[in-house]
Amino acid sequence: MGTSKHHRYLTGAKASKVDEFYTTYEAIDRELRHYRADLKDRHVICDCNDRPDRSMFVSWTLDHMNEYGIASLTCTSFQPDHGTLFDDGTPAMQWHVDNDGRDGYSIADLAVRPLDGDGSFDSSECERLLDRPGAIVVTNPPFSKAIRFMRMLRRHPDTDYLIIANLNLLTANDVLPMVKEGRCLVGLSIHSGSMFFRLPDDRPKTGSMIRPDGTVGVNSVRWLTSLAAARADKTQPPTGRTYRGHEDEYPEYDAYDAINVDSMRMMPDDHDGPMGVPLNFLERWAPGNGFMLLGKLDDPTVNGRRLYKRLLVRRTRDA
């Protein structure tokens, strides 16, 4: 193995460790309870797991298979050392159980088999799981691989998903088209603040957002989904703010024919032209709800002052 390849595997292993944020059972329950009808007769795919006994996605699905009528559960693990100098022979694994009508399900009911490859979510044998009619992906993909994960989902337009990711992901060139199409909506259970995760025991817990139970808050993390049920709360309520008479509060960008809106509380009710708005606009947006999503502004400036990226939107009065 050459030095470059050796370094790449070491870097990948380190990144994999830093990417370990374990979603809590409570967070999963708060979101998935909104999709009872969407989960009926579906084949749940958890393709970003460490071990099923540590995954709350697996635990929640097993607990609700009968109640929600979930048809099956398949989960896979990732073995980053597979085929490398550090391969100790431990294979990536796949676990599966069908809903056969028994009274309840547990980890012990999962049939297990080794995978041929490393278990990466977009490896051919794992990605094939998404081709099954009725498949739905429910997982927390590694934050560092989120764009890659969305590219995979984009290759499977008939496969639904419920995943966790940072809001910034929605402005990526590979993802924004899915947002415009209504195939990527912000979920229903969290619209502000942080989502809290468990960390591996050997990871230091630092920062100001640490709860007594040891969970750590991560800003701007949201549920993302293709399910139409997520449109339920997607309305932009009037703010009572007006552009007319307050033009100085809404300066135009230096290089774009649009006004800048610093926060959603400031969105003017009387302006029909293009507006640059914060990313959290998407927390209450879906196609056809009164606004058209035109695109994004990656590096907008106002009077030479650089601002954080904005979404470019326009009101549609006939919606």
Task: Rounding to the nearest 10 degrees, give the CA dihedral for residues 38, 39, 43, 44.
Answer: 110
Which pair of structure tokens corresponds to residue 59? 């635990």
The per-residue pLDDT for 303 is 95
Q: Tell me the per-residue pLDDT of 217-226, one tens digit each, with 9 for 90 and over.
A: 888 999 999 9
How distant, in Å, are the alpha carbons of 207, 244, 287, 312 from that of 294? 37, 23, 11, 5
In-domain check, residue 6: no
Domains: count for the chain: 2
In-domain check, residue 8: no
Sheet with 310-315, strands from edge to edge, namely 259-260, 275-277, 310-315, 291-297
The per-residue pLDDT for 286 is 95
Q: Mean of the per-residue pLDDT values for the chain? A: 89
Query: What would the mean pLDDT of 221-248 be, rounded to a whole number?
Result: 95
Q: Tell me the per-residue pLDDT of 19-30, one tens digit each, with 9 for 90 and over.
A: 678 899 999 999
Which percentage of the chain shows pLDDT scores above 90?
74
Q: What 3-state class would DSSP assign to 163?
A: strand
113, exposed or middle or buried, with CB in 10 Å at 0-12, 13-18, 19+? exposed
Q: Tell me the per-residue pLDDT of 143-193, one tens digit each, with 9 for 90 and over.
A: 999 999 999 999 999 999 999 999 999 999 999 999 999 999 999 998 888
Q: In this model, does residue 96 exceed pLDDT 90?
A: yes
Q: In this model, does residue 9 exceed pLDDT 70?
A: no
Query: Residue 263 is part of which domain span?
Result: 247-315
Pair (100, 195) in one structural domain: yes
Residue where a domain terminates, one of 233, 259, 278? 233
The per-residue pLDDT for 319 is 44
The three-point CA angle 40-42-47 to 5° equals 135
The packing angle between helices 25-32 and 56-68, to 10°, is: 40
Sheet with 22-23, strands from edge to edge, namely 22-23, 194-198, 216-219
Pair (284, 163) in one structural domain: no
Q: What is the band of 53 on the pLDDT scale with cuts at 50, 70, 90?
A: confident
Pair (166, 221) in one structural domain: yes
